[in-house]
Chains A and B, each alone.
Chain A
Amino acid sequence: MFSSLLPKPKHAPYDPSLNVRVSRTTSRHSSQLLHLPKSSNKTIIDNPHTNNTISKLHLNPDGTLDYNLTIASATGSNVQASYEDTIALKKRFPKLKHHFPRYDLHTSPDSSLQKTVRETKKAIAALMNRGAGSSSKSTNEVSYVKYENNSLVEGEDRGRVIQIREFQEDPMLPPKFKLRKNRHKEPSPPPPILKNTNASQTKLTKEDREKWNIPAAISNWKNNQGFTISLDKRVMAANGGKEEEVPDLNIEKFGKLSSALENADKEAREEIRIRNEMMRELAIKEKQEKEAKLRELAEATRRERGKRANHDGGSDWKRRK
Chain B
Amino acid sequence: MASFKEVYGHEGIFSIGDSDPPPDTVSEAMYNNTKLDKIAGIHTNEDEFMEDDDDLQDDNDEDEDEIEDKDEDNEDKDQLAATANQPSEQWRPLRVIAGAHQGWVRAVTVDPVTNKWFVTGSSDSTIKVWDLATLALKATLTGHIMGVRALAVSSKFPYLFSGSEDKTVRCWDLEKTDSESGCQIRNYHGHVGGIYSMALHPELDLLFTGGKDSVVRVWDVRSRDQIMVLAGHRGDITSIESQIGDPQVITSSMDSTIRLWDLRKQTTALTLTHHTKSIRLLVMHPQEMTMASADSDGHIKQWLLPGGELLNEFGDADNSKIINTMAINPANNHLFAGFDDGRMEFYDYISGELIQEEISSPLAGSNESPIYASTFDLSGLRLISCEGDKSVKIWGL
Contact present for A124 and B30 (CB under 8 Å): no
- B298-356 at interface with A (beta carbon < 8 Å): 301-302, 304-305, 307-313, 350, 352
Chain A residues with CB under 8 Å of B27's CB are: 97-99
Cross-chain contact A177 with B264 (CB below 8 angstroms): no
Pair A98/B244 contact, Cβ less than 8 Å? no
User: Cβ of A171 and Cβ of B287 under 8 Å apart?
Assistant: no
Residues A128 and B227 in contact in the complex (CB < 8 Å), given A80-B309, A177-B189: yes
Residue in B206, B286, B304, B307 with the greatest tally of chain A CB atoms within 10 Å? B304
Quick check: is A117 within 8 A (CB to CB) of the other chain?
yes
A78 and B225 form a contact (CB under 8 A): no
Interface-facing stretch out of B10-18, B172-180, B365-373, B389-397: B10-18
User: Counting CB contacts under 8 A, is A315 at the interface?
Assistant: no
In this complex, how many residues of chain A approach chain B with their Cβ under 8 Å: the count is 43
Q: How far is the CB of B274 from chain A (nearest CB, A)?
A: 7
A3 to B246 CA separation, bound complex (whole angstroms): 64
Given A97-B27, A179-B168, also A120-B311 (CB < 8 A)? no
With A75-B270, A88-B311 in contact, do A120 and B290 touch (Cβ < 8 Å)? no
**Pick from B3, B189, B264, B307: contact of A120, CB under 8 Å:** B264
Q: Which of A29-37, A102-110, A139-147, A157-165 is the contact stretch? A: A102-110
Does B313 contact A88, Cβ atoms closer than 8 Å?
yes
* In the bound complex, CA of A96 to CA of B189 (Å): 46
Whether the pair B244, A100 counts as a contact (CB closer than 8 A) is: no
B154 — which chain A residues lie within 8 A by C-beta?
none
The one of A80, A103, A179 in contact with B308, judged by C-beta atoms closer than 8 angstroms, is: A80
Task: Report B-chain residues with C-beta under 8 Å of the C-beta of A177.
Answer: 189
Q: Mark each residue of chain A from 83 to 118: 1 if its CB lies under 8 Å from any CB of chain B, else 0.
A: 001111111010111111111110000001100110
B274 touches A95 (CB 8 A): no
Within 8 A of B (CB), among A127-142: 127-128, 131-132
B243 near A102 with CB under 8 A, answer yes
Contact assessment for A112 and B245 in the assembled complex, using a CB-CB cutoff below 8 Å: yes
Q: A123 CA to B274 CA in the complex, in Å?
A: 31
Contact mask for chain B residues 272-290; partner A; CB cutoff 8 A; 1 contact, 0 none: 1010000000000111111
A42 within 8 A of B: no
- Chain B proximity of A117: nearest CB distance (Å): 5
Determine the chain B residues whose CB is within 8 A of the CB of A88 once the complex forms. 301-302, 310-313
A100 in contact with B289 (CB, 8 Å): yes
B21 at the interface (CB under 8 A from A): yes
Whether A97 and B204, one on each chain, are in contact in the complex, defined by CB atoms closer than 8 angstroms, is no
Nearest chain A CB to B31's CB is how many angstroms away? 6
Collect the chain A residues with CB atoms within 8 Å of residue B269's CB.
75-77
CB distance from A100 to the nearest CB of B (A): 5
Q: Which residues of A contact B17 (CB under 8 A)?
A: 95
The reply to whether B307 and A97 form a contact with Cβ atoms under 8 Å apart is no
Interface: B223 (CB within 8 A): yes
Whether, in the assembled complex, A121 has its beta carbon less than 8 Å from a beta carbon of chain B, the answer is yes
Q: Which residues of B contact A89 (CB under 8 A)?
A: 304, 309-312
Q: Distance in Å from the Cβ of A217 to the closest Cβ of chain B?
A: 24
**Contacts of A309 on B, CB cut-off 8 Å?**
none
Tell me the smallest distance from the CB of A125 to a CB of chain B, in Å. Answer: 10
Docked CA distance A175–B168 (Å) = 13
Give residues of chain B (100-138) contacting chain A, Cβ–Cβ below 8 Å.
none
* Contact status B270-A93, CB under 8 Å: no
The answer to whether A117 touches B244, judged by C-beta atoms less than 8 angstroms apart, is yes
Please indicate the chain A residues that have their CB under 8 angstroms from the CB of B187 in the complex: 175
Rounded to whole Å, the gap between the CB of A46 and the closest CB of chain B is: 20
Instruction: Determine whether the beta carbon of B225 is less than 8 Å from that of A131.
Output: yes
A116 touches B245 (CB 8 A): yes
If A128-B220, A171-B223 are given as contacts, then 13 extra A-B residue pairs at C-beta distance below 8 Å, sorted by A number, are A53-B267, A78-B4, A80-B309, A95-B15, A95-B21, A98-B27, A102-B243, A102-B286, A103-B244, A116-B245, A116-B246, A120-B263, A123-B264
B-binding residues in A (CB < 8 A): 53, 75-78, 80, 85-91, 93, 95-105, 112-113, 116-117, 119-121, 123-124, 127-128, 131-132, 171-172, 175, 177, 179
What are 25 A-B pairs with beta-carbon distances under 8 A? A77-B3, A77-B269, A77-B307, A78-B307, A80-B272, A88-B310, A89-B312, A91-B313, A93-B13, A93-B14, A93-B16, A95-B15, A97-B27, A98-B31, A98-B350, A101-B287, A105-B244, A113-B245, A116-B245, A116-B246, A119-B264, A123-B264, A123-B265, A128-B225, A175-B224
Binding site for A on B (CB under 8 A): 1-4, 8, 13-17, 21, 24, 27, 30-31, 168, 187, 189, 202-204, 206, 220, 223-225, 227-228, 243-246, 248, 263-265, 267-270, 272, 274, 285-290, 301-302, 304-305, 307-313, 350, 352
- Closest 10 pairs between A and B when the two form their complex, measured CB to CB: A77-B1, A100-B289, A90-B312, A123-B264, A98-B350, A99-B27, A78-B3, A102-B289, A100-B288, A88-B312
